[in-house]
Amino acid sequence: MTAGSDRPFRPADYSQGTSREWLVANGLGSYASSTANCSNSRAYHGLLVAATDPPAGRRLLLSSLDEELGEYRLSNHQYPGAIYPQGFTHLREFATDPFPRFCYQMGQTTLEKNVSMARNENSTIVSYRIRKYSGRLCIVPLIHDRSFHASSELPPMHQEAWENGTAIISQTRFFIFSDLARYIPQESVYYNFEYEEERRRGLGWKENLLSPGRFEIDVAGEAEFAIIASTWRREMPDWRGDLDRERERLRSLKAPVPSLARAADSFLVKRGNALSLIAGYHWFDDWGRDAMIALPGLLLTTGRFEEAKQVLRSFAREMKDGVLPNDLGARSYNTVDASLWFIQAVGRYYDATEDLEFLAELWPGLLEVVERYSQPGEDFGADEDGLIISGPALTWMDARVETRPVTPRRGKCCEINALWYSALRRMECFAQALRVPLDPGIAQLAKRVQSSYPRFWNSENGCLFDVIDHEDASIRPNQIIAAAIPDLLPDVMRRSILEVVERELLTPFGLRTLSPRDPRYAGRYSGGPSERDSSYHQGTVWPWLIGPYIDLLLAVNGRTAEALKGGLEALRPLLDLADEMGTIPEIFDGELPQNSGGCFSQAWSVGELLRAYEELQG
């Protein structure tokens, strides 16, 4: 996958070039990523970030390749008080079609660089084509061997060089080599690289990098060659064949929003012999809640039913006492809603495929979920009224500052109990489809939840309490998830909820997490980790919520021409952003200008936009 637009882009200056990011993934959780002018503004940026325990254990190995053609230097690095060199001045075009492609011009000389990865292999291929040049082209690799999460000191490293490359031996062993360029070992440390995005986020933002040597090739007119960084290979493969195969695969991907097809593909990763979904790039692993919300858009709208089945199976196998893991890699189970979203995802999969055999395979696990939720238990469980009561920070609003939940939502949450009701009704439908007996207590429990649910109605605000027992009248977007569930609320309440949400929470890029009229509202997501976590669910806008918003819009207004038009107008800013960037980020500020933040490419942001768009297309 490549996040980025197929439309050619020429940055007007350095800052505009760093504002547009790209990413190429390999299906293992590994990636290559940087900005349009190849300046690494994050500690997460690099040409080979390899998952050593796919999709986890990601380590930054190759940070960049710096090209030198005589007097011309094409790289860009931020050092204290300076950008040097300033290769962006020679950049004439950046595009992703489907790989990141950088076109430079120096007088009559042109150099084109493409970045790709071999599928299911920790190998990055950087190919070059140079024309109308006579002289020596020198390429300097800059390397590290660290966790991709943070800048750090250089570890002990040594190399074993040969004519066309070198093996780097450190905590990770990897290789850098070429098919035509010769390699000259000449170790040198480059000091004081600065990562501006990490500085803004209040994290470590300076480090040194090692150059183990340089690649050289003498050009007489034109040349085409490649440099490969790999933890797997030390010999030059048929890199052109690899490029052609991956190009064909990427161009064959389909999605309701074509510009998001490659983004949707990037989140699908191998975990052992199974498949999973990464929650976001650069830093998230595969999370249960995120995967289940994102799956219908990422895999069902794109027709990847077999992959959807494998992802559902992966998470079902890791279920523990009816609870889906919150973090599949860490095997953490601190979530009240992941299992409920799992039943939603299974339902959408069955609606799309009518796959009774797979539904039967999942049936014991589905029953286990209902059994766990229908009785009191640690962290959460059913109360006497049938509603689920849960502890603090177990919903998707789970941010903490120094272990203190920012948005605790302790009690009975509106969307959790709506999902609980939907899960019980889904189980009745599943049992009927499978022609298996279902405990009549499940239908009775569903009716009890339905009769208890009106307690969430806040007549003063004309919408739902976010939490009851004890009552929390915060106006939050969780109620749209609840209001979109069929047969739970009367239409007059649903319409009132829609009006409140549109007035208080709806923005061009999604829904605010708290009304601006609330004294706790935070309209900016900025500062260090504590400041950012404090605003994460206190006003910050989340694009993924546009999916439930469209569900409610159609539920209230029906599929009238006016409702469909209004839905498309609500999606338009995100659709335009997808066309421009090739992906959708995690969050936006609640206030104008709505700057993006968090992960620059988020699974449920992409997935819910795809699902919502398909819903509107019928």
Tell whether the model's pLDDT for residue 1 goes beyond 80: no
**Model pLDDT, residue 334:** 94
**Model pLDDT, residue 237:** 78
Q: pLDDT digit string (tens) for 362-392?
A: 999 999 999 999 999 989 999 999 999 999 9
Task: Output the average pLDDT for the chain.
Answer: 96
**Model pLDDT, residue 235:** 87
Q: Comparing 121-130, 203-212, 227-236, 465-474, which segment has the lowest mean pLDDT?
A: 227-236
**Model pLDDT, residue 320:** 96
Q: pLDDT digit string (tens) for 573-607?
A: 999 999 999 999 999 999 999 999 999 999 999 99
**Model pLDDT, residue 3:** 59
**Model pLDDT, residue 286:** 96
User: What six digits make up the tokens of 434?
Assistant: 């499978």
Tell whether the model's pLDDT for residue 395 goes beyond 90: yes
**Model pLDDT, residue 144:** 98
Q: pLDDT digit string (tens) for 499-549?
A: 999 999 999 999 999 999 999 999 999 999 999 999 999 999 999 999 999
| Burial track 233-246 (b if 16+ CB lie within 10 A, e otherwise) | bbebbebeebbeeb
> Which CATH number applies to 14-251: 1.25.40, 1.25.10, 2.70.98, 3.40.50?
2.70.98
**Model pLDDT, residue 5:** 59
**Model pLDDT, residue 348:** 98
pTM: 0.96
For residue 364, give the 3-state DSSP assignment: helix
User: What six digits make up the tokens of 520?
Assistant: 């706790």
- What residue segments make up the domains of the chain, in order of their start? 14-251
Pairing status of strand 541-542 against strand 206-230: unpaired
Pairing status of strand 182-194 against strand 268-271: unpaired
**Model pLDDT, residue 8:** 80
10 Å CB burial of residue 312 (0-12, 13-18, 19+) is: buried
Nearest-10 crossing angle of helices 561-581, 603-617:
140
What average pLDDT does this structure show over 427-432? 98
**Model pLDDT, residue 12:** 87
Among 506, 451, 459, residue whose Cα is nearest residue 480:
506
Q: Are 223 and 182 in contact (CB under 8 A)?
A: no
Tell whether the model's pLDDT for residue 222 goes beyond 60: yes
**Model pLDDT, residue 118:** 95
Q: Residue 502: in which H helix or E strand, if any?
A: helix 491-504
For residue 287, give the 3-state DSSP assignment: strand
Q: What is the CA radius of gyration of the chain?
A: 26
Q: Are 397 and 338 in contact (CB under 8 A)?
A: no
What average pLDDT does this structure show over 297-326? 97
User: What six digits make up the tokens of 419?
Assistant: 């999902």
Tell whether the model's pLDDT for residue 4 goes beyond 70: no
**Model pLDDT, residue 585:** 98
Split at pLDDT 50, 70, 90, the class of 6 is low
Q: What share of the chain is helix, strand, coil (3-state, %, to 5)?
A: 35, 30, 35
Q: Where are the alpha helices (H) located in 435-540, listed in sequence order?
A: 440-452, 478-483, 491-504, 529-535
